[in-house]
Amino acid sequence: MSKMQAVISSVADLIGAKLDRAEGRITQGRAELKAEVDKLPADVGRLGEVAAQVFAGRFE
């Protein structure tokens, strides 16, 4: 039984690490997206903000 628990623990640790890495990448991507939207000229800035919100909503 202890071998099974060790395998389950290893799998859980692996999944946790991958989820942490994915969350970090999503956070990084949001920051990159915001930086690009902030660079847009004022006349298209609002459109960029809306597009960024739609995109970001896919990762919530």
- What is the model's pLDDT at position 18? 97
- What is the model's pLDDT at position 37? 86
- What is the model's pLDDT at position 5? 92
- What is the model's pLDDT at position 11? 96
* pLDDT tens sequence across 2-60: 899 999 999 999 999 999 999 999 899 889 988 988 888 888 878 888 888 887 777 76
Q: Residues near 33 by Cβ (< 8 Å), separated by ≥ 6?
A: 52, 55, 56
Q: Which domain holds residue 13?
A: 2-57
Q: What is the torsion angle, in degrees rounded to the nearest 10, for the CA atoms of residue 48, residue 56, residue 29 and residue 44? A: 0
- What is the model's pLDDT at position 51? 84
> Considering its fold, how many domains does the chain have in total?
1
Task: Count the alpha carbons within 13 Å of 4 in the hemisphere toward its beta carbon.
Answer: 1
